[in-house]
Every structure is written in structure tokens, then in C-alpha cells.
């Protein structure tokens, strides 16, 4: 099991504000897990009671609506922390997290993190900033769903995926999403997402490489996202 104080992943999240002594304590009580592709980190209605630190891999965080449609609200990657809301509320999670690929995660119990939140102001402020940023993203999703067309949301999603996950040497976005996943991000039927993606491909704005996507014309996608 790797030691928290030696883990480079913590430098990408709030844990970087913890002292070496605090990290040593966390390392002694954390548990490391391998999550296979398609398996849940946690399910809707489950009490998480701690946070997940993502050492490797990607997962989707989603909410099931009353009509049975799954809405993806976030994609979590290496270096991210998941489950901060459980630190300040006793409520069960209203979201689920499913691995999009094999993952390595560390779980840190709530009791240990609460103690650090109370004693370390820099750590507390960093966690609060992350939560505020997540709320901002949620607000943007609500506005986009209400005011933007599905085509605009698709173009914006492709741009955001490129920014968040970057591209490999061939220009392919470093995340593999099914067409259903893309539909669940932009809030439409899978058939509609496939049709819109095909249209972007015909116009040579994007290219398919298996299930992966390569952006060929970023300026045109930006115009679509802005409603032009």
C-alpha cells in the first residue's frame, strides 16, 4: 500500500494542504481498492462516510431521474477527490459513481478527515472551494439544459472533454465514452446523440477512432457551442 505522504496524486487535490504528520495518520487508516470497469464506487442511497482519492482511472457521477433517464453530472479523473459532501451531511448520497475504466482508489474515513478539517484551516478552505466549484458546475448544467439546444450542449461537451482530459499524440481525447454516456451528459436520447455526432463527423469537425473522438475543427465547435 502506498503512503499518502509519498503519493504524487495528492498534489492535485486538497490533500496537498495537509502536513506530513496528518498524511501519515491518514495513510494508517485509509483503504486502497481496485474498481473494475462498470463497477460502482458507491450507489445512490448509500451512506459514503468518507472520501475517495482517485489514484488512477476515470468514473462517471450520475443521477437517475424519476422517468428513468440517467443524467451524468460529472466525470472524475486521476487526482480528483470524490465524496466531500458526506463530510458535512448525514444524508445518503443522491448520486452514483461508476468506473468507466479500471480504477485505483483510496478511501479515507470521515472521522479522520473531520479531525483535519477542524485543525487545518488551509485544508478546510480548499475543500470548501472544491465544493463551491462543484455547485457552480451544477448551476451551469441547469442553465444549459434550460437554454441551450442539444447541438450546442454536444459541442460544448466535446470542448470540455478536450480541456479536462487533454489529447494523446494523435489528437484523440483521452477518455473513452459510449454514445449512451455522451447522450447522458447532454441530456438527450442515445439516437439523437449518435445523429448529431455523425453530422459533426460529416462536416469534418470531429473524427471517430473506435469509441474515441478526435476534434478536427475546434473553432467551428466553439461557434456551435456559442449558438452561431
Residue length of the chain: 228
- For 178, other C-beta atoms within 10 Å of its C-beta total 12
Q: Do domains 4-145 and 149-225 have the same CATH topology?
A: no
Q: 3-class SS at 32? A: strand
Provide the whole-model pTM.
0.86
Q: How far apart are CA 14 and CA 24, in angstroms?
A: 15
- Contacting residues for 56 by C-beta, under 8 A, at least 6 apart: 78, 103, 104
Query: Mean pLDDT of residues grouped by 10 in the chain (228 residues)?
Result: 62 77 84 94 92 94 84 92 86 93 93 85 88 85 86 96 93 94 95 97 94 94 91
Classified as helix, coil or strand, 196 is helix
pLDDT of 206: 96
| Domain boundary assignment for the chain | 4-145, 149-225
Q: Is 22 helix (H, G, I), strand (E, B) or coil?
A: helix
The CATH number of 149-225 is 1.10.10.10
Q: What is the pLDDT of residue 11?
A: 61
Sheet holding 81-82, edge to edge: 31-35, 103-109, 50-56, 81-82
Give the whole-angstrom CA distance, residue 101 versus residue 215: 22
**Domain 4-145 classified CATH 2.60.120.10?**
yes
**Cell numbers describing residue 86:** 458526506
Local structure of 76: helix, strand or coil: strand
Q: Which residues contact 54 (CB under 8 A, 6 or more apart)?
A: 9, 76, 77, 78, 79, 80, 81, 82, 103, 104, 105
Determine which helix (DSSP H) or strand (DSSP E) holds 104, and give its type and residue range.
Answer: strand 103-109
Query: And the C-alpha cell for 167?
Result: 489529447
Cell of 41: 464506487
Residue 147's pLDDT is 87
Contact 32, 106 (CB under 8 A): yes
Amino acid at each position: 500500500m502506498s503512503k499518502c505522504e509519498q503519493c504524487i496524486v495528492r498534489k492535485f487535490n486538497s490533500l496537498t494542504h495537509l502536513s506530513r504528520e496528518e498524511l501519515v495518520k491518514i495513510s494508517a487508516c485509509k483503504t486502497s481498492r481496485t474498481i473494475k470497469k462498470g463497477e460502482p464506487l458507491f450507489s445512490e442511497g448509500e451512506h459514503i462516510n468518507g472520501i475517495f482519492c482517485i489514484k488512477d482511472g476515470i468514473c462517471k457521477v450520475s443521477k437517475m431521474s424519476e422517468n428513468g433517464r440517467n443524467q451524468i453530472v460529472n466525470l472524475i479523473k486521476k487526482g480528483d477527490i470524490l465524496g466531500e459532501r458526506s463530510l458535512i451531511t448525514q444524508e445518503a448520497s443522491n448520486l452514483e459513481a461508476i468506473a468507466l475504466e479500471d480504477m485505483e482508489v483510496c478511501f479515507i474515513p470521515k472521522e479522520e478527515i473531520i479531525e483535519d478539517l477542524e485543525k487545518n484551516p488551509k485544508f478546510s478552505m480548499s475543500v470548501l472551494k472544491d465544493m463551491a466549484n462543484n455547485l457552480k458546475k451544477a448551476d451551469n448544467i441547469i442553465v444549459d439544459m434550460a437554454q441551450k439546444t442539444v447541438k450546442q450542449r454536444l459541442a460544448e461537451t466535446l470542448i470540455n472533454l478536450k480541456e479536462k482530459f487533454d489529447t494523446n499524440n494523435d489528437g484523440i481525447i483521452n477518455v473513452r465514452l459510449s454514445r449512451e454516456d455522451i447522450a447522458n451528459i447532454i441530456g438527450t436520447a442515445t439516437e439523437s446523440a449518435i445523429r448529431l455526432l455523425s453530422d459533426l463527423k460529416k462536416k469534418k469537425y470531429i473524427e471517430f477512432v473506435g469509441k474515441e473522438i478526435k476534434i478536427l475543427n475546434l473553432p467551428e465547435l466553439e461557434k456551435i457551442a456559442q449558438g452561431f
